Structure 1
Amino acid sequence: MTLLISNIPCWLIPLLVGVICGILGYLLGRLLGGGSDETTKQIDVDVYKNRIAKLQADLEACKSSKKSTFSGGNSSREVAGAPIDNKAVSSFAAGAVSVSSNGVTAVAFDAAAAKAVIGKKVNQDDLTVVEGIGPKIKELFHNHDVTTWAGLADCTVEKCQEILSSGGKRFEIHKPGTWPEQAKMAALGQWQKLKAWQDVLDGGK
């Protein structure tokens, strides 16, 4: 052993001792530091648990607040974003804009403009404005829930024919081919266009 050490250069011995000490120090540090890492991890877990508990408490408080806001029957409609009564909207005003299922937007009715073009008083949604529709046919359509120009514009020609046929022989002889289009013009307030077209129609055909 003495012979082996004597063959090692003097400068190499301190280097080997330093390397060995470094390795031992590293291993001891890992061994002793393991406990502190576990402690840190446990602290982090506790912190996150506390945050989750706080968020859950906030969520419950928010739910309770919403329940108290929306309680009280009709008062819930006063809250922003609450459901709107469609019937109330549709009856908001006689000239309110309405949209039928086929996209016809009825503009505000202008009785004076209609009278100036048609040449007689026109009542809003009077189906007899349509060339070919008289009081009896109007009543028949009303019985089938077609009571407005937009509603008639929403009907197909086939649907109009079905309604006429339901009234018997005296109704089914009529030809409703242009009625939905005429009703659309009335709903849109296109009185000049409607009058010009009716001037060339023969009983609505």
Structure 2
Amino acid sequence: MNWCILIPLLVGAICALLGYLLGKLLSGGNGNAVSEDVYKNRIAKLEADLETCKSDKFSDINLYKNKITKLEADLQACKSSKSSGAGTAVSSFAAGVASVAKITFDADAAKAVFGKKIKQDDLTVVEGIGPKIKELFHTHDVKTWQALSQCSLEKCQEVLNSGGDRYKIHKPGTWPKQALLAFQGKWKELSDWQDKLDGGK
């Protein structure tokens, strides 16, 4: 084999390879320049978005400040109305309470449903409450249907417990609701419900 011919061919191949790699490297530099411009544009856009966000944030803060100022003014007006006793909100609330308190007892309507005379605020109308339990409630200052309707189950059980073991076994779960129906004069609804109850349970 003639080494004189092989060496120039090998050197030429190496030079061609180096030239190719050098050209690739130089063209890659231009690509990096393009990529750099893209990133610069993105950074500029993000900075602009940040400025917009900051300005929106401050406008939102101003909006909330205005709302807080208005609420504080309303609160102050409400406080001054309450202290002077002339607030319309307080007056309307008092009127609402008075209207609830003015629910009138209709003995005829109650008799028509139950077939017997019903006395106003007789707690024995509530199924499960007899004369002795009624006296226990009276002792605890629960003397009306309205008062019983506002008792929690814990309060009812406390009243029963005060009477001893004989009364602890009673289940007062429906008593406040029954008392409310009596207070509201919903006699038919009360009677229908009591037909489904077993000793007030």
| TM-score, length basis structure 1 | 0.48
Structure with the larger helix share: 2
Q: Please, what TM-score do these two structures have when normalized by structure 2?
A: 0.49
